[in-house]
Structure 1
Amino acid sequence: MSNSHSVKNPRPFVPHLLRVKAKTIFGQRITPPFVTLYVTKRCDERCIHCYYWDELNPRPNHDFSLKEFQRTFRSMGEIYNLFIGGGEPFLRSDLAEILVSASEINHVANVYIPTNGQHAERTVTVLERTLSGAPEMRFHLNLSIDHTEEDKHDFIRGKSKAYKKMLQTVQSLKSLRNRYRNLIVHTLTTIMKENQEDIFEIYEELKRLVEPDGISFNYCRGNSLDPKQTEIDPAIYERLLRQMEDDFVAGDLAGMTNNALGPTNHILDQYVRRSIERTVMHERAQFSCVAGRLAGVIYSDGDVVECEVKKSKLGNLRTVNYDFQKLWSGPQASDVARQAAEGCYCTHECGHYASIIYSIPKVVKIAVESTRTHR
């Protein structure tokens, strides 16, 4: 008899997509189904590539309380994909309660959380409470690993013994994954000047070390703590994408091929990576951006913005009695959508991901390719 916890059938995406399109076809402003939620500005690392470094660890700290998050959730509708940001999310002692509340109130289908892996025991506790409290929600945990050599990882993360602590978390997660079928573990590596020459060795070691369900590489962007880290050789990125695609076809990414969603997730990731590659190469947008329409951002102090890159502030939730829709449908709304139509572009992975999955033609292509791959 299996000791794994059962997971309810997650809500299928295509009916959700069609409902969203039906509601927005005439310009109706709905709760964005793709939300990035920053839960804290506290962080215990100082990464050289961090684009948010000048906002971290403020004094005093104005992070929302659990009750403030819950009041905000009640003013919102359905959220299909919830991306958690920080700071380090696992520094919050009430993180599980925040996530379970979002699941119960907003019927979240997928939650994505990055972590620096410095808090193994707390991570396991939060995961167990969330996974058992929200069995219908898929929990995607993204382990930030920027090098597989200890001294280089610690240098990039700005903290001694960071690599050793991260490995403790990796070991703790291996047993947890066997117990909870709705836990999906990814590795997340930021490609930057500091590690780009070693990126293929890092990639191979991640497959062996973590045995993840997915491997992701983010393109260093924004106002990094060390500005030169954005100096990336596009040719290295292109070679890495080719290698990952070849490995998938060859069945060398076991965690990404051993389940029904593996091919779909891989092909979607491939679309995102290729979209970013073309954006860098041609310096223009590769799609109709959904930021400000179907994707939005809530910061931990209550600020609401339409786009994480543009940071176009609509207002603060504390000033409107935590009524998200009042800000989202207010007079300043849709500035980002207008800017996108005028030709702005970025390499922000979440922006590319959201814009691709809410494009019906692209979803059809991904579904067709996934079916062919999984035969």
Structure 2
Amino acid sequence: MPDTLPPPRFVFMEVNKRCNLRCTHCDYWQRDDDDRARYLGLDAKRAILDDFAAMNPDGALVICGGEPMLDLEEYFGLCAAARARGLHILSVVNGTRIRRAEMAERVLREGPHEVSISLNSHDPALHDETRGVPGAFERAVAALRLLVAAKRRLGMTDSRIYVMGLIFARNYEHIEEFYDLVLNDIGADQLKLNFLQPSFGGGGGAPDPFFAAESGVDAERLTAILSRADARFGLGLNPAWIDAVGMYFRSIAAAQDLERGWASRSATEDHICNTYERNVMIDHYGVARLCFSTQFPGKALRAPGDLRRFWERAGTTRARMRQCNQWCGISHSVRRESSTLKGRAKMEAHLARHGPMPAPDWASRAAAGLHALVR
């Protein structure tokens, strides 16, 4: 029996697997794109976006890497395809390819509607240490300033420029200084907070020294700091999200095997993820899943309607995922509670706007010329 959920809000598509930084909390810089010949091509991605736009004309594409802007033709080609279909676009990049005013303007005109630059701290030395490359802070902040200036120059008030922060033991007591830099000095639209979790891209039981070393966060002190920042900067934070953050770090404090990373037998006390109700992640090879983890089954998207069929028939997988309390549930991409009340209102509006999906009319869509997916 097909699920009667509203359509997905977000489709995530991966551009590459490599990165030009050497982050201590991620292993993508140790990968490469040697098997690029097996990647889903741009024409196939366009066809998937046709399916997604038919399911949810108000949906959003999230462009992922590696560092996606290392492949500019693919990056802007994917943006163009999403814009042509009326989809919203989000992307997180490290800023290293945004070095001139011309590129900043191109990003705003042709790229994501919401572009986020990753920043690990307001402290340049700490950012550079955890990003693994000297000067990374300077380049990230320069990219942000170029984007902010271009937005003002072009009058593109609908574009959003964000900072995606990472909070861990050595920086959590300085969240207010972080907000001050981002909002008042740089002039970005928002600081979004991600929190320490096992190293991104990791797996296979490899040791995770960063996760273990940076887990010493006092949950009560952190939630008090967030509440104080909310009052000071008028952030409109969601109290339920603050509570979830506190629960997350209390769970970490009780764990005994954090050095095992994703292989840890510990987990969050409460279930805080709902990726299976709103996201589809499509990997480099065209396999769709309801989260980034490969522990849950996916479906290779090969023909028109495969995306819809995958979404509607994933009830058994969703039932399993509702029992999953892995650390990644705190991630910005998958957590149930939005960090802001405004974000929560958007989620509620989506649920109110979209009832159960109508049955697909495959014959009329085929007549309209929806081309088959190709590898």
Structure 1 Cα separation of the partners of residues 315 and 31 of structure 2: 28
Structure 2 Cα separation of the partners of residues 97 and 322 of structure 1: 22
Q: Residue 350 of structure 1: SS of its match in structure 2?
A: coil
Shift of 1:211: 1.7
Structure 2 Cα separation of the partners of residues 359 and 170 of structure 1: 28
Structure 1 Cα separation of the partners of residues 127 and 99 of structure 2: 21
Decide whether the 8 Å contact of 1:292 with 1:335 is kept in 2.
no
What are the superposed Cα offsets for residues 18-52 of structure 1, whole Å, 9 maximum, x if unpaired? xxxxxx9x8336641222222221211121122x5
Residue in structure 1 matched with residue 335 of structure 2 by the alignment: 352
- Larger mean Cα displacement after TM superposition, 339-348 or 294-303: 339-348
Normalising by structure 1, report the TM-score: 0.70
Q: List gaps (5 residues or longer) in structure 2.
A: 201-207, 252-267, 339-343, 353-375
Normalising by structure 2, report the TM-score: 0.70
Count of matched residue pairs: 313
What are the superposed Cα offsets for residues 76-108 of structure 1, whole Å, 9 maximum, x if unpaired? 232523322211121121212211211322x32
- Alignment of structure 1 residues 1-375 onto 2, 5 Å: 27-28=3-4, 31-50=7-26, 53=28, 56-61=31-36, 62-76=38-52, 77-78=55-56, 80-94=59-73, 95-105=75-85, 107-108=86-87, 110-121=88-99, 125=103, 128-129=105-106, 131-132=108-109, 139-178=113-152, 179=154, 180-223=156-199, 226-229=210-213, 231-233=215-217, 234-249=219-234, 266-267=236-237, 271-281=240-250, 283-285=268-270, 290-309=274-293, 311-317=295-301, 323-329=306-312, 333-342=314-323, 344=325, 346-352=329-335, 360=348
AA aligned to 1:98 is: L
Q: Residue 23 of structure 2: SS of its match in structure 1?
A: coil
Compared CA separation, residues 339 and 308, structure 1 to 2 (3 A): same
Decide whether the 8 Å contact of 1:49 with 1:192 is kept in 2.
no
Structure 2 Cα separation of the partners of residues 123 and 320 of structure 1: 41
Structure 1 Cα separation of the partners of residues 32 and 23 of structure 2: 13
Q: List gaps (5 residues or longer) in structure 1.
A: 1-23, 250-255, 257-265, 365-375
Structure 1 Cα separation of the partners of residues 317 and 270 of structure 2: 14
AA aligned to 1:169 is: A
Percent identity reads 17
Q: Residue 27 of structure 1: SS of its match in structure 2?
A: coil
Decide whether the 8 Å contact of 1:96 with 1:129 is kept in 2.
no
Shift of 1:241: 0.9
What are the superposed Cα offsets for residues 95-130 of structure 1, whole Å, 9 maximum, x if unpaired? 12211211322x32x4221111111247953x6446
Shift of 1:199: 4.0
AA aligned to 2:298 is: L
Structure 2 Cα separation of the partners of residues 293 and 75 of structure 1: 18
Compared CA separation, residues 122 and 27, structure 1 to 2 (3 A): farther
RMSD over equivalenced CA pairs, Å: 3.5
What are the superposed Cα offsets for residues 270-318 of structure 1, whole Å, 9 maximum, x if unpaired? 643443333444734466x54334322112332211122465231333x
Decide whether the 8 Å contact of 2:21 with 2:132 is kept in 1.
yes
Q: Residue 11 of structure 2: SS of its match in structure 1?
A: strand
Decide whether the 8 Å contact of 2:121 with 2:178 is kept in 1.
yes
AA aligned to 2:212 is: K
Q: Which has the higher contact order (CA 8 A, sep 6+)?
A: 2
Residue in structure 2 matched with residue 370 of structure 1 by the alignment: none
Decide whether the 8 Å contact of 2:144 with 2:161 is kept in 1.
no
